[in-house]
A and B are shown apart, each in its own frame.
Chain A
Amino acid sequence: MTIIVNGGRADCAPGLSLDSFLEGEGYDQRVIVVGLNGTIVPKGSYPSVRLDDGDALEILNFVSGG
């Protein structure tokens, strides 16, 4: 199945947990915040969130800025 990650398309196994997806992609889960279809996902619930076809993820972190 296909999901949208930060505006781009990405392949994802059906039913994969958010936790597993992030780990597989190499995101550092300590420093990111994730939005799923516009809603912020609490950090503790990544393992219990299952990704569906067409889901849109926003994965954000802090960068330098004024």
Chain B
Amino acid sequence: MDDPLRLGTHEFSSRFILGSGKYSLKLIRAAVENAGAQMITLALRRANPGGAENILDYIPEGVAILPNTSGARNADEAVRIARFARALGCGDFIKIEVIRDSKYLLPDNGETVKATAALAEEGFTVMPYMYPDLNAARDLVSAGAACVMPLASPIGSNMGLQARDFIRILIDEIDLPVIVDAGIGRPSQACEAMEMGAAAVMANTAIATAGDIPAMATAFRKAIEAGRAAYLSGLGRVLPGGASASSPLTGFLGGVEGAEND
């Protein structure tokens, strides 16, 4: 792998983490395959007797499961959910979500730090969803997180990189993968996040609410790959005010009217 995404002791060639919410199980396989995703999020909920369909049957082999702690309102609940999730035997990843605010669904950074510390201590590969605050991100690093996952805008809003400038600060200052999560609504926004130096992008609602879910998964894959390539290439400089000719300014054809001005 030339450019792996490293999360704890794990490595991925894909930088697209796919959410599985809000669309049919039957589309999950196609979405994962088109996304080229090697990691997909799931939630943990009370089971129904009588055997509803098992979502794990729809996830291609080799794709890592990233359980989330959705529903947790504090660190203790997140830790409890994480332990139950790990007992299902699908690995040690956990995406911490601690949310007390029911209108904007904003994560509680303080409780998230506490849960991260507890779960990292128990050997989880902890991927905390967070509000993009530098102090909290530093605390998450100290607590043993494998990455930080700042929101771009509120969950499910498709509002894009509203928190752009603050995510950029995290990318500049945090020595862990910064994975942009929540609110990314279009491939162009995912691409921009990757151009900025985000290590990966997670998306769910943008795919789930698209007209053609598998095709949108493909579009996101391409955008994320393009953004990563652009970041690694080093973006060209910006020249505010004025211009810089791209064509040579010598050797113009003789007698072509106006050529000197092109």
- A interface residues, Cβ below 8 angstroms from B: 6-7, 25-28, 30-33, 35, 40, 42-43, 58-66
Asked if B84 is at the interface (CB within 8 A of a chain A CB), the reply is: yes
Q: Are B21 and A66 in contact (CB under 8 A)?
A: yes
Q: Are A65 and B21 in contact (CB under 8 A)?
A: yes
Q: Are A31 and B25 in contact (CB under 8 A)?
A: no
Question: What is the CA–CA distance of A33 and B44 in the complex, to the nearest angstrom?
Answer: 10
Shortest Cβ gap from B3 to chain A (Å): 26
Q: Are A65 and B47 in contact (CB under 8 A)?
A: no
**Segment at the A interface, from B7-15, B64-72, B168-176:** B64-72
- B interface residues, Cβ below 8 angstroms from A: 19-23, 25, 28, 41-47, 49-51, 54-56, 65, 67-68, 70, 83-85, 87-90, 155-156, 182, 202, 204-205
Q: Are A26 and B70 in contact (CB under 8 A)?
A: no
Question: What is the CA–CA distance of A52 and B108 in the complex, to the nearest angstrom?
Answer: 38
Shortest Cβ gap from B47 to chain A (Å): 4
Q: Are A64 and B56 in contact (CB under 8 A)?
A: no
Q: Are B56 and A31 in contact (CB under 8 A)?
A: yes
Residue of B whose beta carbon sits closest to that of A7: B46
| 22 A-B residue pairs with CB within 8 Å | A6-B46, A6-B47, A27-B51, A32-B47, A33-B87, A33-B88, A40-B87, A42-B87, A43-B89, A61-B44, A62-B42, A62-B43, A62-B44, A62-B54, A64-B20, A64-B28, A64-B42, A65-B20, A65-B70, A66-B22, A66-B41, A66-B156
Residue of A whose beta carbon sits closest to that of B202: A66
Taking A31-B88, A33-B84, A40-B83 as contacts, is the C-beta distance between A65 and B42 under 8 angstroms?
yes
Shortest Cβ gap from B53 to chain A (Å): 10
Question: What is the CA–CA distance of A58 and B77 in the complex, to the nearest angstrom?
Answer: 14
Shortest Cβ gap from A64 to chain B (Å): 4
Q: Are B155 and A25 in contact (CB under 8 A)?
A: no
In the A-B complex, list the 4 residue pairs whose CB atoms are closest, starting with the nearest.
Answer: A65-B43, A66-B19, A66-B204, A64-B20
Contact partners of B54 in chain A: CB under 8 A:
28, 30-31, 61-62
Pick the most buried of A30, A43, A60: most chain B CB atoms within 10 A of its CB: A60
Taking A61-B54, A63-B42 as contacts, is the C-beta distance between A26 and B87 under 8 angstroms?
no
Shortest Cβ gap from A40 to chain B (Å): 5
Contact partners of A27 in chain B: CB under 8 A:
47, 49, 51
Q: Are B44 and A63 in contact (CB under 8 A)?
A: yes
Q: Are B55 and A62 in contact (CB under 8 A)?
A: yes
Question: What is the CA–CA distance of A25 and B202 in the complex, to the nearest angstrom?
Answer: 37
Contact partners of A59 in chain B: CB under 8 A:
46-47
Residue of B whose beta carbon sits closest to that of A35: B84
Contact partners of A26 in chain B: CB under 8 A:
49-51
Shortest Cβ gap from B176 to chain A (Å): 21
Question: What is the CA–CA distance of A59 and B49 in the complex, to the nearest angstrom?
Answer: 9
Residue of A whose beta carbon sits closest to that of B25: A64
Question: What is the CA–CA distance of A35 and B49 in the complex, to the nearest angstrom?
Answer: 15
Shortest Cβ gap from A28 to chain B (Å): 5
